[in-house]
Structure 1
Amino acid sequence: MINKIIPQTMTGQINLLVLGALLIPQIFSLFIFLDDRSNTVELAYRRQIAQQVITTIKLLKSTQSDEHNRIFNIINNRSFNASIVPSSSIKAIPKKSYSASRFKMMLSRLLNYKSDEIIIENLPKNTKTKFQNDETNILSNWLIYIKLDDQVWVRFIIRTATDDDTITTSDFFIIMGLCFFVFIIITQIMNIRLVKPLINLTKDVTKLKQNKDYKISVQNGPLEIKHLAKNFNKMQKHLNQFSHDRTQMLAAISHDLLTPVTTLRLRCEMIMDQALKEKFLQTLEQMESMIKTTLSFARTDVMNENTRTVEIGALLESIADDFINLGKHIIFNNNQHPILLECRPIALKRAITNILNNAFQYGNIAHIESQKDEHDLIITIKDNGPGIPEDKFEEVFKPFTRLDPSRNAEQGSVGLGLSITRNIIKAHGGSLKLQNLSEGGLKVSIILPLNG
């Protein structure tokens, strides 16, 4: 379940990791910020209101009642409204909120008033309150009644100041969202610098299968990736040197082995007994064939051929024509749409020819066709032979493996045909697949990548 949620790519995992590392602290910071901000703003606002209320009460007590209206006209505004109400209109507030109780204690202490001489109600923000003898509803957050004398009280209608000039919760989320957006862009840029060289390195390593001399180059990216590419090139150089040394050694062995065989062939011409002479020559021909086949398998001449783009249908058709000219029964279904493949055509032709030789060695009809999907070219070769036991599928690709030793020996085979074929296909970055047909015979599938 977790594997389905977590991105499988390095880019996705880096984004998820960094995003989570940033998001979780931000969420905690948001709650702490909002709580602290709310408490700080509330305390500051209470002090401001308390100062205004105390100043108003002191001013009213120090002036005559006929001056009260003039004072109210001066101090009243959109968020602070004071007026005189008769004592008979005052009703106790049945429920007191915690914040109202704290505010009442503050005013009682500062004004030196008794508890029953102050009534405070804390209303939800921008509550519309209808007062007796008032013609309109008044938006209020605090209702404060403070006793001025036995006859009258002062009613304060306090409206919380708007947050137009402060950062609200929604503003905070918008700012945080913009920060995340910028963060994602920066993360993507870093991912491109970190992950793209890895992707290119993977592609370059894949190309090594098709071209042993291909050099991996990482121009941008972290130093570690550049070192990795450099070490890949060193490893490839060592492998190429080893392959070259082996080829040189086998070339010398080829010369040393073929020279005595040639000498023996000349001496056979001096044998007077014709029957004995033919047996010697037949044995020498088998030895020479075995030596050449073995050396052909050991050499990496397939890697020395330059790659070029060919139309695979034309290549298969030329192979089919060669077998038809030899009197073989071969059926070739040409794909109507041209399929272009970057390959070593001589080596690939040799691999397909080896498979067809096996097909005609055990059967008398071969069927060859090609098709492609999104990524691969698939060449299939079918025969009407006895097939191969499934437990021998891997074994037939091993060098010097002959499922029918007596029959192969008669035809000069040493069991290297399919080994050579698989080496060629692997050198192209492809693979071989064997399958027994239900109607009898063997199906060989050559799978080659179209993207090189």
Structure 2
Amino acid sequence: MNALRSLQGKTVSWILWGTLAGLVTGAVWANTQNAWERHLDRADYTGRQIYGALVNGAPMPSDVTATQIDAPPQGRGRVTEASILTGETEDWGGARLLVQVHDPQLAYTLNDLPPSSTPPERLGAMTRKMARLCGNPTLYARPDGRSWIKVTAPSVWSCESAPNDMRLPLGLAFILALVSLLTRSSEVTGRLGRLARIFSSSQGGGTTMLPLEGPSELNEIAEALNTSITREREALEKRAEALSAISHDLGTPAARLKLRTALIDDPTLRTKMEGDIDQMIAMVEGVLSFTRTELDAEPAQQISLTALVETIVDDYEDLGRRVSLGGVVTGQTETQHSLFGVTPGVGVLNEHPIVLREAQRVLVMARPLALQRAITNLVENALNYGRRATLRIESHAAEVSVLVEDAGGGAVSAAEMADLIAPFRRGANASRAAGNGLGLSIVQTVARQHNGSLSFEEGPEGLVARLTLRRE
């Protein structure tokens, strides 16, 4: 049983089942094809014998009944007429054999019969076609200058005499078997993709453990990854506990240092020492905040990214800060059906994006508190080093980006900003604002928690920070 649950065992069984289905299908198909060829060859040979009996006076085949009549019936079913030259060539004006095929439902087109064949072969081709179409035909023939003869042969060309044609149902059964095998194999590959997505989410700070399902090899991979996730989270928790303890323990001596610093008579020295103490405490608290961001287990939920960005902008505007909303940038303003339901006005970006109406929203699966913290960090960065911040949203089918543009005037390039994402890295203009160099690191951590990224680019007025989130 364990062998059958393994991926190797399943692969071997799929190959065996596919091979067996192919062999059975091929064998039955070939047998049916041979049976039909024999049936049609018999009808062809019987037609040639009928020609000899009608034209040359040879005996009629035993399974054929010939009856002399005055004329074929009129107005019954469908009638197909043909004339077969019984002489050696048409130029010699040989005698003709008039033939009518009567069938209640089918019409037998005879214009595709081989023109260069002999008269017996032409009549044989006609009876072969009568047998192939599986109808209920009756043959009426009139040799040149003679009476009409009704020819019936239900055991030769009727539908009841035809062999069972298993090719169509067999082909459908083979296709269904093939689709079933492909579905089962795609389920396995789908589980691999699902494991990758869950593991990626867990690496970004999620708590979801990988499910143990499917083949044993996948379960072993899931167990190993679950162990890695558990160990990583335990290490993060220990780090957070240690930093929290350090932050707490530093509080008391820092307070004593501040009290003792207040006793220093030199105001310049006293101010510098107080600043150093505050900087030390801020650095510890910044590291603790960064670690808590990595450890954050906030559940993801569907939110309106537009509403979140508008709220952040409104809060800054209430404080009189130079923060503005540039709108939502997208492509065609038409209704699109996607995994997120019917979203009006969200389409594929084109070369000339437009700004949507304020009422339209961009929905994403995100962690709202972490995302708000990341966007706020980018806004603070833009205000501290670029004098103002303009926020925009770009909506794509698979991802959405929050753009924060400043008016820094090129003081720091996009390439230099990419190097400043690392913890405790600050640029040459860091003296403009207080900080510990962890703001962009926190933003990148939040981006990775959403399977996204943080990048920088040159804008028309200043530097643009692009926070990209996957919509899946």
TM bracket (short chain):
0.5 to 0.7
Decide whether aligned partners of structure 1 residues 178 and 275 sit closer, same or farther in structure 2, where only a CA change above 3 A counts: closer
CA distance in 2, matches of 1:276, 1:211: 44
CA distance in 2, matches of 1:306, 1:193: 27
CA distance in 2, matches of 1:27, 1:301: 59
Shift of 1:289: 2.2
Aligned partner of residue 237 in structure 2, secondary structure:
helix
Q: Give, as a single letter, the amino acid of the residue that structure 2 aligns with 1:395.
A: D
Partner of 1:282: 275
Greater RCO (CA < 8 Å, at least 6 residues apart): 2
Aligned partner of residue 124 in structure 1, secondary structure:
helix
Aligned partner of residue 441 in structure 2, secondary structure:
helix
CA distance in 2, matches of 1:36, 1:135: 36
The count of aligned residue pairs is 358
Shift of 1:413: 2.8
Q: Give, as a single letter, the amino acid of the residue that structure 1 aligns with 2:366.
A: C
Deviations 1:368-411 (A, max 9, x none): 1335343433322111113443433531212222221xx31463
Q: Map residues 230-309 of structure 1 onto 2, 5 A cutoff.
A: 230-300=223-293, 303-307=296-300, 309=302
Deviations 1:404-434 (A, max 9, x none): 1xx3146333322211111122223322232
Correspondent of 1:421 among 430, 443, 462:
443
Q: Map residues 287-366 of structure 1 onto 2, 5 A cutoff.
A: 287-300=280-293, 303-307=296-300, 309-333=302-326, 335-366=358-389
Partner of 1:178: 172
Partner of 1:433: 455
Contact 1:351 1:420 in 2 (8 A): yes
Decide whether aligned partners of structure 1 residues 421 and 175 sit closer, same or farther in structure 2, where only a CA change above 3 A counts: closer
Partner of 1:395: 419
CA distance in 1, matches of 2:250, 2:277: 12
CA distance in 2, matches of 1:347, 1:233: 24
Structure 1 gap segments, 5+ residues each: 1-14, 47-71, 82-90, 94-120, 141-157
**Which protein has the bigger helix share?**
1
Shift of 1:218: 4.9
Aligned partner of residue 349 in structure 1, secondary structure:
helix
Contact 1:268 1:277 in 2 (8 A): yes
Q: TM-score, normalization: structure 1?
A: 0.63
Aligned partner of residue 422 in structure 1, secondary structure:
helix
Contact 2:293 2:370 in 1 (8 A): no
Partner of 1:117: none
Q: Give, as a single letter, the amino acid of the residue that structure 2 aligns with 1:430.
A: G
CA distance in 1, matches of 2:359, 2:306: 9
Greater C-alpha radius of gyration:
1
* Match status 1:161 vs 2:156: yes
Partner of 2:4: none
Range with bigger deviation, 258-267 or 376-385: 258-267
CA distance in 2, matches of 1:40, 1:344: 72
CA distance in 1, matches of 2:61, 2:361: 90
Correspondent of 1:378 among 398, 401, 410:
401
Contact 2:325 2:390 in 1 (8 A): yes
CA distance in 2, matches of 1:398, 1:226: 36
Q: TM-score, normalization: structure 2?
A: 0.60
CA distance in 2, matches of 1:296, 1:159: 92
CA distance in 1, matches of 2:366, 2:389: 24
Contact 1:305 1:344 in 2 (8 A): yes
CA distance in 2, matches of 1:381, 1:410: 19
Contact 2:237 2:295 in 1 (8 A): no
Aligned partner of residue 394 in structure 1, secondary structure:
helix
Aligned partner of residue 161 in structure 1, secondary structure:
helix
CA distance in 2, matches of 1:282, 1:194: 59
Aligned partner of residue 397 in structure 1, secondary structure:
coil
* Match status 1:135 vs 2:147: yes
Aligned partner of residue 156 in structure 2, secondary structure:
coil
Deviations 1:352-375 (A, max 9, x none): 121112112222221113353434
Partner of 1:124: 124
Partner of 1:446: 467
Decide whether aligned partners of structure 1 residues 172 and 234 sit closer, same or farther in structure 2, where only a CA change above 3 A counts: same
Deviations 1:218-275 (A, max 9, x none): 56x4344344433333322122112112222223333455554333222212212222
Deviations 1:316-340 (A, max 9, x none): 3343244335442111246422444
Aligned partner of residue 445 in structure 1, secondary structure:
strand
Structure 2 gap segments, 5+ residues each: 1-13, 46-58, 67-85, 89-119, 128-139, 328-357
Q: Give, as a single letter, the amino acid of the residue that structure 2 aligns with 1:337.
A: Q
Identical-pair percentage = 23
Decide whether aligned partners of structure 1 residues 301 and 423 sit closer, same or farther in structure 2, where only a CA change above 3 A counts: closer
Decide whether aligned partners of structure 1 residues 246 and 125 sit closer, same or farther in structure 2, where only a CA change above 3 A counts: same
Decide whether aligned partners of structure 1 residues 40 and 204 sit closer, same or farther in structure 2, where only a CA change above 3 A counts: same
CA distance in 1, matches of 2:172, 2:236: 58
Q: Give, as a single letter, the amino acid of the residue that structure 2 aligns with 1:320.
A: V
Decide whether aligned partners of structure 1 residues 134 and 200 sit closer, same or farther in structure 2, where only a CA change above 3 A counts: farther
Q: Give, as a single letter, the amino acid of the residue that structure 1 aligns with 2:373.
A: R
Contact 1:408 1:414 in 2 (8 A): no
Decide whether aligned partners of structure 1 residues 166 and 226 sit closer, same or farther in structure 2, where only a CA change above 3 A counts: farther
Shift of 1:351: 1.3
